[in-house]
């Protein structure tokens, strides 16, 4: 029985607005992790969004599946699949039918502006909680109305915490407004190192054979993210080519790059074309299969380093997953990726969102703090560019250089297998301990902060027109 378990009839109901927890997006994956890790404390109702959702209009009870996954005998989880990002009528029906204690929203608020446009109506009855994943500076003052419309905000990174704090303080500070640092947490029972003596080792060998055939690569770099521009997959390919070119001729064929992504994406690059025309000598392997979680865990187990050099990144789920499997990483120092580096100040203290982050210093992309964990080779951005769009007026694009990324690959290559394994093990220890990047910590923070915010909730005053 889970700690602090409550019987179903005594639990508060939480209304969850996010990507359908059954889809493999980062938000969908973490939505499921939040529900699985808190279903002993709350009953969950989700408005589960997806573009062109094939089950739109249905009502799905997945309580049994969640009960089995979470080892909670009486979980209660209902999904209302929705094509797109909900609407006011759907929300009013869910509030009426389920009488939740609070609404938890988790994704980009721009897709859900209708929710924040009706916040005064909603907050006459229930609080709004927002798990925000904002990526980067400069301070997005255009988000202030979103932040002010919430009773509690959980922040995915230390940088996000500082961003929200600074933006929210610009106008109309509210004394009882609540803000917390709640990093994503990886389940250590789902992501772990598989050793030769383990029962699953045969499956790891089979996966290796399926991916690489009879070839025994000395060093494999792994990319596990969507093929979109800000993720920089084509830069990774070119960097790997530069890294390979620096090796002795008899070692060039012993290294490979594994991409778990679509080779071509409307929002990204034609990676096969880049490979064919610009770096054909690279051993490039694509795996486009839709793996279950154990398959993804297997991929981290057959590679030597995982890479994420996104130009802005709310968290970077693949990095934490990699660390939990004891596989070291290469990251661009931006957004939530910074937290996974384990940067420390001159006294050896882990960077703290209250103590170190200020209005004048909101990101370590400038390299102020260089001491970091042994599990990572960080690459500091060389160019900070301002980009934007009609929905996001401005945001920094923190780009590192291809030669710097190639050098980071060489660092892990030269360290050798034993040193990589030792560094990776330190990464898992960090996630489980001081770094707090594990599912238990994340879910405990959700329970602690949401219960507190519900207890402190003061409904908005209702207004009526006299004589009407």
Question: 304-355, pLDDT tens digit by residue?
Answer: 999 999 999 999 999 999 999 999 999 999 999 999 999 999 999 999 999 9
Q: Is residue 430 part of a domain?
A: yes
Residue 418 has pLDDT above 60, yes or no: yes
Q: What is the pLDDT of residues 110-123, one digit of tens each?
A: 889 999 999 999 99
Percent of the chain with pLDDT over 90: 89
* pTM greater than 0.85: yes
Least confident of 98-112, 162-176, 245-259, 300-314: 162-176
On whether both 157 and 225 belong to a single domain, the answer is no
pLDDT at 236: 98
CATH of the domain at 421: 3.40.50.2000
CA–CA gap between residue 24 and residue 32 (Å, rounded): 10
DSSP category for residue 269: -
Query: Residues 362, 338: contact at Cβ < 8 Å?
Result: no
- Answer yes or no: do 144 and 263 share one domain: no
- How far is 92 from 95, CA to CA, in rounded Å? 5
Angle at the Cα of 227 (from 136 to 51), degrees rounded to 5?
85
Does some domain include residue 219? yes
Residue 351 pLDDT: 98
Among 456, 439, 442, smallest CA distance to 180 is for 442
Tally Cβ neighbours within 10 Å of residue 445.
Answer: 17
User: In this predicted model, what pLDDT tens digit does every residue of 7-38 receive, in sequence order?
Assistant: 999 999 999 999 999 998 899 999 999 999 99
The answer, yes or no, to whether residue 428 has pLDDT greater than 80, is yes
Full DSSP string of 165-211: HHHHTSS---TT-EEEE----B-TTTS-PPPTTSTTHHHHHHHHHHH
467: in domain: no
Nearest to 351 by CA among 181, 200, 99: 181
Residue 60 lies in a domain: yes
Do 374 and 287 belong to one domain? yes
pLDDT at residue 196, rounded to an integer? 94
Residue 143 CA to residue 139 CA, distance in Å, equals 9
165 found inside a domain: yes
With a pLDDT cut of 70, the percent of the chain lying above it is: 95
Quote the DSSP letter at residue 281. T
Confirm if 83 and 57 have CB atoms less than 8 A apart. no
273 and 398 fall within a common domain:
yes
Q: How high is the pLDDT of residue 127? A: 97
Do 367 and 313 belong together in one domain? yes
pLDDT of residue 59: 97
Place of tokens 């890479």: 307
Torsion sign (Cα): 447, 448, 453, 456: positive
Residue 1 counted as domain residue: no
Residue 109 DSSP label = G
pLDDT tens column, 210-262: 999 999 999 999 999 999 999 999 999 999 999 999 999 999 999 999 999 99
What is the residue-averaged pLDDT of the chain? 94
Does residue 387 sit in the same domain as residue 450? no
Q: Name the domain count of the chain.
A: 2
| Same-domain check for residues 268 and 162 | no
CATH of the domain at 121: 3.40.50.11930
| DSSP symbols for 369-420 | --B--TTEEEE--SEEEEE--SSS--EEEEE--HHHHHHHHHHHHHHHHHHH
DSSP label at 108? -
- Co-location of 130 and 14 in the same domain: yes
Residue 284 to residue 426: CA distance in whole angstroms: 29
pLDDT given for residue 174 in this prediction: 58
Confidence band for 168, pLDDT divided at 50, 70 and 90: confident
Q: In the predicted model, what is the mean pLDDT of residues 133-144? A: 94
* Same domain as 85, residue 51: yes
Residue 269 and residue 263 in contact, taking contact as beta carbons nearer than 8 Å: no
Confidence category of residue 176, pLDDT binned at 50, 70, 90: low
Helix 293-301 and helix 317-324, axial crossing angle in degrees, nearest 10: 70
Cα–Cα nearest to 399, from 213, 232, 279, 281: 232
Which of 454, 404, 444 is closest to 178 using CA atoms? 454
pLDDT in tens, 31-84: 999 999 999 999 999 999 999 999 999 999 999 999 999 999 899 999 999 999
> Is residue 67 domain-resident?
yes
CA dist 420 and 467 (Å) reads: 75
pLDDT at residue 141 is higher than 70: yes
- Alpha carbons 346 and 97: distance in angstroms, whole number: 54
Is residue 382 within 8 Å of residue 239, measured between CB atoms?
no
Which residues, 6+ apart, have CB-to-CB distance to 131 below 8 Å? Answer: 104, 105, 106, 153, 154, 156, 182
Kindly state the tokens that stand for 247: 């090796």
Mark whether 316 and 411 lie in a shared domain.
yes
Tokens coding 268: 């990204």
Closest CA to 170 of 143, 135, 131, 136: 143
Q: For residue 301, name the pLDDT band (cuts at 50, 70, 90).
A: very high
Same domain, 351 and 420: yes
* Model confidence at 293: pLDDT above 80: no
Its domain, for residue 144, covers: 8-182+442-456
Q: Are 156 and 275 in the same domain?
A: no
**Residue with the two structure tokens 């932040």:** 147
Q: Are strands 178-181 and 255-259 parallel, antiparallel or unpaired?
A: unpaired
Residue 466 lies in a domain: no
Helix%, strand%, coil% for the chain, nearest 5: 40, 20, 45
């Amino acid at each position: 029985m889970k700690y602090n378990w409550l019987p179903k009839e005594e639990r508060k109901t939480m209304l969850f607005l996010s990507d359908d927890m059954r889809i493999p997006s980062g938000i969908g994956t973490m939505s499921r992790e939040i529900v699985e890790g808190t279903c002993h404390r709350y009953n969950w109702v989700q408005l589960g969004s997806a573009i062109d959702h094939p089950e739109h209009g249905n009502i799905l009870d997945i309580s049994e599946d969640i009960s089995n996954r979470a080892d909670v005998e009486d979980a209660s989880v209902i999904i209302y699949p929705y094509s797109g990002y909900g609407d006011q009528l759907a929300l009013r029906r869910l509030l009426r039918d389920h009488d939740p204690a609070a609404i938890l929203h988790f994704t980009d608020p721009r897709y859900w502006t209708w929710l924040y446009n009706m916040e005064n109506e909603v907050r006459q009855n229930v609080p709004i909680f927002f798990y925000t994943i904002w990526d980067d500076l400069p301070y997005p003052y255009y988000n202030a109305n979103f932040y002010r419309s919430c009773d509690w905000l959980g922040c995915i990174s230390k940088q996000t915490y500082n961003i929200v704090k600074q933006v929210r303080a610009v106008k109309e500070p509210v004394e009882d407004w609540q803000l917390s640092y709640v990093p994503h947490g990886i389940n250590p029972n789902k992501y772990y190192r598989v050793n030769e003596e383990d029962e699953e080792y045969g499956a790891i060998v089979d996966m290796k054979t399926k991916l690489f055939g009879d070839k025994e690569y000395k060093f494999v770099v792994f990319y596990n993210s969507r093929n979109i521009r800000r993720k920089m997959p084509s830069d990774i390919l070119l960097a790997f080519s530069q890294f390979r070119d620096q090796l002795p001729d008899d070692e060039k064929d012993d290294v490979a790059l594994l991409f778990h992504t679509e080779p071509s994406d409307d929002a990204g690059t034609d990676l096969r074309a880049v490979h064919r025309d610009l770096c054909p000598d690279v051993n490039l392997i694509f795996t486009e299969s839709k793996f279950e979680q154990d398959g993804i865990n297997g991929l981290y187990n057959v590679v030597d380093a995982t890479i994420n050099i996104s130009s802005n990144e709310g968290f970077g789920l693949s990095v934490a997953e990699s660390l939990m499997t004891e596989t070291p990483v290469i990251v661009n120092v931006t957004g939530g990726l910074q937290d996974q580096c384990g940067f420390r100040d001159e006294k050896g203290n882990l960077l703290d969102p209250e103590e170190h982050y200020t209005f004048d210093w909101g990101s370590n992309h400038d390299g102020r703090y260089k001491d970091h964990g042994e599990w990572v080779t960080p690459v500091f951005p060389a160019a900070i560019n301002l980009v934007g769009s009609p929905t996001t007026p401005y945001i920094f694009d923190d780009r590192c250089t291809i030669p710097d990324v190639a050098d980071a690959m060489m660092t892990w290559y030269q360290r050798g297998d034993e040193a990589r394994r030792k560094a990776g093990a330190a990464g898992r220890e960090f996630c489980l301990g001081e770094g707090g990047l594990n599912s238990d910590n994340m879910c405990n923070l959700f329970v602690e902060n949401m219960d507190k915010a519900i207890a402190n909730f003061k409904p908005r005053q209702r207004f009526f027109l006299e004589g009407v």
